[in-house]
Amino acid sequence: MVTATEFDQLLDLLRDFIRREVMPAEAGIDESDEIPARLIAQAKEMGLYGYALPSEYGGLGLSVEQQVRVTIELGYTSPAFRSLFGTNNGIAGQVLVLAGTDQQRKQWLPRLASGEVVASFALTEPDAGSDPSRLTTSATPEDGGWIIDGLKRYITNAPAADVFMVFARTDPQAPPGKGIGVFVVPAGASGVAVAAKDHKMGQAGAWTADVAFTSVRVPADALVGEAAQAGYATAMRSLAHGRLIIAALCVGVAARLVDESVSYAKERSQGGHVIGEYQLVQAMLADSQTEYLAARALVLDAAVSRSTAAPGISAASPSRGCTATYGCSGSTKAPARSSNSSSPGRCSGSGLGSAD
């Protein structure tokens, strides 16, 4: 549990770190498709790999509202930076937080929180994307364990992962969404193969890849929560948390877009005037600021609801839709710089993506 004063100090530290260390590295990240090792080390030192994980397992134990406020700050720079530790805190780590046994939590969460271990969430398949309930990866029981077979697609952080949370069908006869378990599978297990990283349209520095599981043998205690039928519900609960976090990330992106637009409008001259003096430009900037503030208010409201209400997706979904429009589509109405390849607004893909 972090006190309000400690949290304010953490936000100040993070804001300063992003502006001093990460923003100057954005162009390099875009060109090299890689986060510099020194930023990875600093992120570990600051506790960023475990800010959403419980303090009893070495995380910072932030509340959902605090996680959202941290994520808004992280959205101010390259989204790839947050993606580094997004799966540990989010979709993968939350599987263990929500459904893991005590033993599984003790074994993995402290190492996720320190960044010693990178975890990935492996749900999507070539023919199971928006509707993952029809996934076909199988987990077949054998004496003392399971054999996993299948192909997963677009798995964030797979090239760096030490462990995968793999969703697999344990009952081939069950209807979609039923008969699915989730398994903790070490990346080094025999039969696990990570393909080359995908070439994406945006989010350079954030990696996704296919992961093949071919006759991968795992012990019985690899089944998360010991319930072979409950994996799909765990996936949906983890994704509900992830949607809120991605919405918050987009709010940070929108804040950056507005700030960049305002400074450009102040420096660019046409017709003998800086363009910010023109009423039409001022109106576009005002609209962008209004949309940003509306999205921020909606996400913070959803975070408070999620902290206090019964678990569900209703709070997160509208905020994700709204901020996906304002933040990630780059839809700011304000005047854009003609070329800015490292623009943090260039998000690609779906809300699940890198939630990571």
Ligand X SMILES: Cc1cc2nc3c(=O)[nH]c(=O)nc-3n(C[C@H](O)[C@H](O)[C@H](O)COP(=O)(O)OP(=O)(O)OC[C@H]3O[C@@H](n4cnc5c(N)ncnc54)[C@H](O)[C@@H]3O)c2cc1C
| Residues engaged in binding ligand X (CB under 6 A) | 120-124, 129-130, 154-156, 208, 348-350, 352-354
Nearer to ligand X, 231 or 353 (CB): 353
Nearer to ligand X, 307 or 317 (CB): 317
For residue 6, the minimal CB distance to ligand X (Å) is: 31
Residue nearest to ligand X (CB): 129
User: How many C-beta atoms surround the C-beta of residue 110 within 10 A?
Assistant: 17
User: How many C-beta atoms surround the C-beta of residue 267 within 10 A?
Assistant: 11
For residue 354, the minimal CB distance to ligand X (Å) is: 5
CB 203 within 8 A of CB 348: yes
Distance CA 138, CA 149 (A): 5
Distance CA 50, CA 54 (A): 8
CB 300 within 8 A of CB 224: no
Cα torsion 261, 263, 266, 267 to 10°: value is -110
Structure tokens belonging to residue 216: 């991968």
For residue 297, the minimal CB distance to ligand X (Å) is: 26
Nearer to ligand X, 66 or 156 (CB): 156
Nearer to ligand X, 124 or 170 (CB): 124
- Biggest alpha carbon–alpha carbon distance for the chain: 80
Nearer to ligand X, 242 or 252 (CB): 242
Nearer to ligand X, 48 or 91 (CB): 91
Please return the burial class of 294, using the count of CB atoms within 10 Å of its CB with bins 0-12, 13-18 and 19+.
middle
The string of DSSP letters for 78-131 reads -HHHHHHHHHHHTHHHHHHHHH--HHHHHHHHHHHHHTSS-EEEE--BTTBSS-
For residue 22, the minimal CB distance to ligand X (Å) is: 19
For residue 244, the minimal CB distance to ligand X (Å) is: 16
For residue 84, the minimal CB distance to ligand X (Å) is: 13
Nearer to ligand X, 48 or 352 (CB): 352
For residue 80, the minimal CB distance to ligand X (Å) is: 10
For residue 352, the minimal CB distance to ligand X (Å) is: 3
Residue 183: φ, ψ to 5°: -125, 145
Nearer to ligand X, 17 or 183 (CB): 183
Please return the burial class of 98, using the count of CB atoms within 10 Å of its CB with bins 0-12, 13-18 and 19+.
middle
CB 170 within 8 A of CB 150: no
Task: Give me the half-sphere count of Cα atoms (radius 13 Å) on the Cβ side of residue 22.
Answer: 27
For residue 26, the minimal CB distance to ligand X (Å) is: 18
For residue 121, the minimal CB distance to ligand X (Å) is: 5
CB 299 within 8 A of CB 247: yes
Residues 6+ apart with CB under 8 A from 314: none
Q: Report, in angstroms and rounded to the nearest whole number, the Rg of the chain calculated over CA atoms.
A: 21
Nearer to ligand X, 2 or 151 (CB): 151
Nearer to ligand X, 252 or 353 (CB): 353
